[in-house]
Structure 1
Amino acid sequence: MRKLPVFSSLRSFLDWSKDRGDLTAIPDPVRVVHQMTAVHDAVLRAGGPVLRFDAPVLADGKRSAIPVVTNLFGTTARVAAGLGMTLDDVPGFGEFLASLRSPAPVEGMRDAMSRWPMLKAALATRPRISKRGPVQDEVQDGEAVDLTRIPVQTPWPGDGGPLITWTTVITRPHGSEPEAAARYNLGVYRAQVLDRNRLIMRWLAHRGGAAHHRTWDQAGEPMPVAVVLGADPATLLAAALPLPETVSELTFSGVLRGERAHLVPARTVPLLVPADAEMVLEGWIHPGDTALEGPFGDHTGYYNSVEPFPVMRVSAITHRRDPIYLSTYTGRPPDEPAIIGEVFNQLALPVIRQQIPEVVDLWLPPAACSYRIAVVAIKKRYPGQARRVMMSLWGMLAQFSYTKMVIVVDDDIDPRNWDDIAWALATRMDPARDTLVLDRTPMDYLDFASPIEGLAGKIGIDATTKIGTETTREWGKVMKLAPDDTAFADALLARRLPGLAR
């Protein structure tokens, strides 16, 4: 299935990008306060390469010896490459992931042998555990811990301080064993640097890390946490995937990577961490220890409010001998999370079709913060079907509970084309009849349009052709040229006006 090499570390992916001419080193001094974000943003919007800042300048004006890599997933092609494939292979990989969730019954030995890739993927979820790894070549613990020497960005002018953005945070529930990697949760949570050895861990209540934190808090015990900086692409993307709560992102990364995860025991906390990562911040969150976090620019394009979140006290920093710091920023799309979301849209489609078979295509417009608007094309067969699809989507995955608008169109409409969508809305939708409005439903509390924090309305718009009892009028017939005439026009244009040929 894989057409690209296995990337067992971040630097192997960077080497591959460099060989393709898709990595640019910047030797110029660039400040981590605001300047680095400005450069990154400009390059991302132009569809440019991975950036490696070789002379980052810290907030105090000193140069850091640690290079900063940004724009790793600044194009959809690189996101797909992080999964080990080309963009053309992403839909097929989505089908494969859907089959892992709900495999069809095996019919005979020939069918069983054809399932070998699926079996191999399942085996790849079992981690390989070693005593030591490159991520522990150097260790600073106790008084030697100093987060302020890491070139952490302050992305936006209104930000409250330095912000670690491309984290892979590892947690486990209270009562679990450190070796039970299948019970681990990986999440991408931003972390504000408070001082030399303290971070604020910002995880929302519905996220896996927060759920684990509640179990330790209820037991009155400190919670071990590992913040991985610069993991391999598969681990990074697994941490961002909307996987079911019962699936460990750490073990699932083996499916994406094409080989088993390589883990080592952390030095000062009872957790396993990726052996080939660039850095790991180890530490503890003590019950009731919180601090005010923010404000920080967010994916909505606005600064979020200042709120209390748990404080992580860093007990050790482990890293390679020549570590690389991986960073990004979040803001109004496009940003890296929005670009990753475009690819994940394709991965999720087969899973959605398993539950809602009439869905032909689904688009989450990146400009709508990747998930707040969904446009769904269906093969319509009966009255009320569009409303059933709306309700199914809102209840299917946790991520769709934050989708405030669902537009349903027929399968003759391209759900990724705003002109097609506008035509369907203008000609197939009556505002009084074809809108479904819900009140006080779950919503991302960062949505400032919500009248109540965490609760908001939702709207479903049925822009499909009305059939049966949905209308009392005879429906219009869509105009369309005959296929023979279209073929004639194409042939003529190819000869006489090749620049206009379709």
Structure 2
Amino acid sequence: MPKDLRSFLSEYEKKHPEEIVHIEKEIGWDQEVTVIAQKFEKQEKYPILIFHNVRTCNGEKSPFPLITNLLASRNRCAEVTGSTFKMVGRDYYRKTREQRKPFTKISKGEAPVKQVIKKGKDINLWEFPAIRHHYMDPGPYFTAGYFTTMHPTTGIDNCGLHRGWMVEKNIVRFYLTPHTHSRYTMNYHRDRNEPMRIAYWVGHHPAACLGGQVKLGYPESHYAAMGGLLEESLRVVPSESLGEDFLVPADAEVIVEGIIKDYTEYPEGPLGEYTGYIGPQIPNPQFEVTAITHRKDAYWHDILVGRVDNFVMGGFALEGGVYEAVRQRVPSCVAAYLPLSGICRMHVYLQLEKPRRGDAKEAIMAAIPVDFRLKHVFVFDTDIDIFNDKEAMFALASRTQWDKDVMIFTGTRVAECDPTAPDEGVMTKGGIDCTKPAEESFSELNKTDDDVFNKIKLEDFIPQKKLEGIPKERM
């Protein structure tokens, strides 16, 4: 059986029933789902949330369940991709780059996503439980919809998460940031005044969703990279209204097809963005929906933009890419991590083993250009657990002299949604060498002998009930 969202949910709920929460009570589309997830976040809990009774933007009950927080857990994403908490970024990179699998084309009659086909007057985006996440969002958005295009000369597929506002039942205004391949493809068509075919696919196995975000060359197939993470070929099927050569994921939950007929720009946004801040209203084009296909009992997948669900899932492609880029130039690099505190985009922690003089600074210079969203690079020794923010900040406090250890780079590429982004389109980034002076003596960390630490167990000295009753404290 091919992997899809429902096969994942069935297997995962049997294995981890405590990590999937079904909510039967009616809930509204306007910010209420965000608050549920937000309150779980404050408890440092990240379950998959499935809402079975959502009132949509038009006031009607959606016939489709809403699933969110699917990718909010790093441990869950590691399990989905056959990896571990610390290795998931590197394994992600390896599987999407080195173990890609060519897609398999199947007939329309075999494709679950073709169970229901809607065209013309039957098209109604507002029947899906697309929600309003934050108080300034203008309406329901595609947030887990993968904006899919075909390269104009090679026909190679490209996928990316690009926001789309459902301004009408059949009209979507969308935003493609300047450095994305989707934008390059749109510019090609716009410069020639040609219409452009696009599709959003929504809902699939989590490994497919993660693979749809990999940073590839232009053009390279996301479908093949998704197959690498799935560990099987992605099944695809011809579109319903965009031609036999426009292929879409056959095992998705929903496909929304459309055509950009002209490139007139309209007000779009503001929108709560992945940065955790409200992004501005931007003049953007729109497309007309030409067909919707979906499973009879389709799930509508939503990503909680600017929340942990959004942060975690988007970090692995960058994390693996940074590690490989730095490792090629600085062999002492043994790990890379994009911490949640830097929204898994803006900060990267690098770990070097027995670095030589100059290694830390060269690692910083190698990491900064990997992605325009990266802003700050911090380099640590192996006696610091880079997956623990407290230890990282301890090293920053105790091992740096900023007149010697700080590097600053002006005039670098900028992410438009960054709230600090200046109007001129470039910004300043930097890095800090938080390693001990290479090849010099340095004070040793306070520690206990390993044999003593491993021998002592709290439950041997304190009753289990008492241990469980001691409250946690965040400091």
TM-score range, shorter chain: 0.7 to 0.9
Please say which structure displays the higher CA radius of gyration.
1
1:300 to 275, 291, 303: 275
Following the alignment from structure 1 to structure 2, what is the Cα–Cα distance between the partners of residues 81 and 130?
31
Q: What is aligned with 2:23?
A: 26
Q: 1:43 aligned to 2:40?
A: yes
Following the alignment from structure 2 to structure 1, what is the Cα–Cα distance between the partners of residues 72 and 225?
23
Counterparts in 2 of 1:237 and 1:45: CA distance versus 1, 3 Å: farther
Question: Is the 2:329–2:363 Cα contact (8 Å) retained in structure 1?
Answer: no
1:243 to 195, 216, 226: 216
Following the alignment from structure 1 to structure 2, what is the Cα–Cα distance between the partners of residues 164 and 386?
41
Counterparts in 2 of 1:15 and 1:459: CA distance versus 1, 3 Å: same
Q: What is aligned with 1:428?
A: 399
Q: SS of 1:432's equivalent?
A: helix
Matched residue type, 1:283: G
Q: SS of 1:402's equivalent?
A: coil
Of the structure 1 ranges 415-424 and 46-55, higher mean CA displacement relative to structure 2 is found in: 415-424
Q: What is aligned with 2:10?
A: 15
Question: Is the 1:91–1:346 Cα contact (8 Å) retained in structure 2?
Answer: no
Q: How many residues align?
A: 458
Q: What is aligned with 1:116?
A: none
Following the alignment from structure 1 to structure 2, what is the Cα–Cα distance between the partners of residues 326 and 99?
24
Of the structure 1 ranges 251-260 and 126-135, higher mean CA displacement relative to structure 2 is found in: 126-135
Matched residue type, 1:315: T
Following the alignment from structure 2 to structure 1, what is the Cα–Cα distance between the partners of residues 142 and 92?
33
Matched residue type, 2:402: P
Following the alignment from structure 1 to structure 2, what is the Cα–Cα distance between the partners of residues 232 and 50?
13
Q: 1:325 aligned to 2:300?
A: yes
Root-mean-square deviation over aligned CA pairs: 2.9
1:69-468 matches, within 5 Å, as 69-83=67-81, 85=82, 87=84, 91=87, 94=90, 97-98=93-94, 101=97, 121-122=99-100, 124-132=101-109, 133-177=111-155, 183-270=156-243, 271-331=246-306, 333=307, 335-341=308-314, 347-348=320-321, 351-352=324-325, 353-395=327-369, 397=370, 399=371, 401-452=372-423, 454-467=425-438
TM superposition shift of 1:285: 1.0
Q: What is aligned with 1:107?
A: none
TM superposition shift of 1:175: 3.0
Of the structure 1 ranges 191-200 and 322-331, higher mean CA displacement relative to structure 2 is found in: 322-331
Counterparts in 2 of 1:499 and 1:155: CA distance versus 1, 3 Å: same
Once the two structures are superposed, residues 19-66 of structure 1 have per-residue CA deviations (whole angstroms, 9 ceiling, x without a partner) of 231333222110011112212333355424322211111223221212
Once the two structures are superposed, residues 83-127 of structure 1 have per-residue CA deviations (whole angstroms, 9 ceiling, x without a partner) of 2x2536x7289358548857xxxxxxxxxxxxxxxxxx45x3242
Q: Which runs of no fewer than 5 residues in structure 2 stay unpaired? A: 465-475
Q: Which runs of no fewer than 5 residues in structure 1 stay unpaired? A: 1-5, 103-120, 178-182, 469-473
Question: Is the 1:185–1:208 Cα contact (8 Å) retained in structure 2?
Answer: yes
Question: Is the 2:311–2:344 Cα contact (8 Å) retained in structure 1?
Answer: yes
Following the alignment from structure 2 to structure 1, what is the Cα–Cα distance between the partners of residues 197 and 303?
25
Following the alignment from structure 2 to structure 1, what is the Cα–Cα distance between the partners of residues 288 and 140?
16
TM superposition shift of 1:370: 1.2
Once the two structures are superposed, residues 127-182 of structure 1 have per-residue CA deviations (whole angstroms, 9 ceiling, x without a partner) of 233243121122111222121222210111211111111001210122344xxxxx
Q: 1:57 aligned to 2:55?
A: yes
Counterparts in 2 of 1:242 and 1:38: CA distance versus 1, 3 Å: same
Question: Is the 1:235–1:249 Cα contact (8 Å) retained in structure 2?
Answer: no
Question: Is the 1:135–1:276 Cα contact (8 Å) retained in structure 2?
Answer: yes
Once the two structures are superposed, residues 243-299 of structure 1 have per-residue CA deviations (whole angstroms, 9 ceiling, x without a partner) of 344431112111111221111111111311111211111110123232211011112
Percent of aligned positions with the same letter in both sequences? 25
Matched residue type, 1:186: C
Counterparts in 2 of 1:329 and 1:381: CA distance versus 1, 3 Å: closer
